[in-house]
C-alpha cells in the first residue's frame, strides 16, 4: 500500500529542488570580489527571484514530508526532529530572503555591501549542518526500532557523518573545497540533503510492515493506567 500524500510531496520536492538548483548558475565564491557578486546578480536578477519562488514551493512540499515523519517519532527524538525541521526551514528561508533581496535593485548595489551580504549567506551551508544532524539522528533511531525501513537508516547515517565533517567548513579556508558556502556545502551537502529528503518521503509512502501505528499509543495508555494503581498500593 502506498500513501499518496508523502509520495506526491517527495516527488514535488525533488522536482522543485532540482529546478531551483539549475535555474541560476553558481555565484562567485567567498574568494571573489564584491564587483563579481554585483555582476552575477545583475546578470541573473530575474532568475534569482524565480529561484526564490521555487525554493519556497519546495519548502512547502518538504514540511509535508517532515510532518509525516514527525508522526512516527515520540519522546525526545520527536522533539529533536521537530526542532531540526524548524531550524532547517527557517535557515533556508533566511538565505533565500537575502539572495532574492539583493536581486530587487541590482543596478543600485554597492560592491562592498553585496560582498558582505553574500558572505553572510555563505555561512548558511556550514551552520545548516546542525539542522541536518538533528533531522538524521532521530530517523536512524526510529529506523532501528522498525518505524522506518532499515535502508533509510543507512541513508540518514551517510548524511549525518557527512554533515559532521561539513561543520569544518565553518572554519574552512576561503577558496578551498571546505570553504564556507564552497563545493562541500553546495554540491556534496546539497546532493545528500536532496537524496535524504526524497528517501524519507518515499519511506513514508511505502507501507512498513515492521511498524504498528497504534503500538506507541497503546503502550502510553498502558503506562498511564499502571501509574495510579502503583501509587495507590504504596
pLDDT value, residue 213: 59
pLDDT value, residue 113: 95
pLDDT confidence tier of residue 221, bands split at 50, 70 and 90: very low
Cell readout for 226 is 499502571
Write the pLDDT tens digit of every residue in 178-211: 999 999 999 999 999 999 999 999 999 986 655 5
Q: What is the mean pLDDT of residues 216-231?
A: 42
Q: Which of 60, 52, 73 is nearest to 10 (CA)?
A: 60
pTM as predicted: 0.85
Cell readout for 56 is 519556497
pLDDT value, residue 3: 76
- 206: helix, strand or coil: strand
Write the pLDDT tens digit of every residue in 27-68: 998 899 999 999 999 999 999 999 999 999 999 999 999 999
Amino acid at each position: 500500500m502506498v500513501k499518496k500524500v508523502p509520495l506526491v510531496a517527495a516527488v514535488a520536492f525533488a522536482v522543485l529542488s532540482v529546478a531551483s538548483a539549475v535555474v541560476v548558475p553558481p555565484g562567485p565564491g567567498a574568494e571573489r570580489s564584491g564587483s563579481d557578486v554585483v555582476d552575477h546578480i545583475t546578470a541573473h536578477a530575474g532568475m534569482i527571484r524565480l529561484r526564490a519562488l521555487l525554493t519556497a514551493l519546495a519548502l512547502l512540499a518538504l514540511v509535508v514530508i517532515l510532518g509525516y515523519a514527525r508522526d512516527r517519532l515520540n519522546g525526545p527524538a520527536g522533539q529533536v526532529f521537530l526542532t531540526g525541521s524548524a531550524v532547517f526551514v527557517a535557515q533556508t528561508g533566511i538565505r533565500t530572503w537575502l539572495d532574492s533581496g539583493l536581486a530587487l535593485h541590482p543596478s543600485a548595489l554597492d560592491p562592498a555591501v553585496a560582498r558582505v551580504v553574500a558572505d553572510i549567506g555563505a555561512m548558511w551551508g556550514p551552520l545548516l549542518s546542525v539542522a541536518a544532524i538533528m533531522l538524521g539522528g532521530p530517523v536512524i533511531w526510529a529506523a532501528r526500532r522498525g518505524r522506518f525501513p532499515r535502508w533509510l537508516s543507512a541513508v540518514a547515517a551517510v548524511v549525518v557523518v557527512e554533515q559532521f565533517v561539513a561543520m569544518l567548513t565553518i572554519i574552512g579556508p576561503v577558496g578551498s573545497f571546505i570553504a564556507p558556502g564552497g563545493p562541500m556545502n553546495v554540491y556534496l551537502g546539497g546532493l545528500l540533503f536532496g537524496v535524504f529528503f526524497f528517501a524519507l518521503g518515499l519511506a513514508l509512502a511505502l507501507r512498513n510492515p515492521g511498524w504498528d501505528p497504534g503500538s506507541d499509543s497503546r503502550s502510553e495508555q498502558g503506562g498511564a493506567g499502571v501509574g495510579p494503581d502503583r501509587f495507590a498500593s504504596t
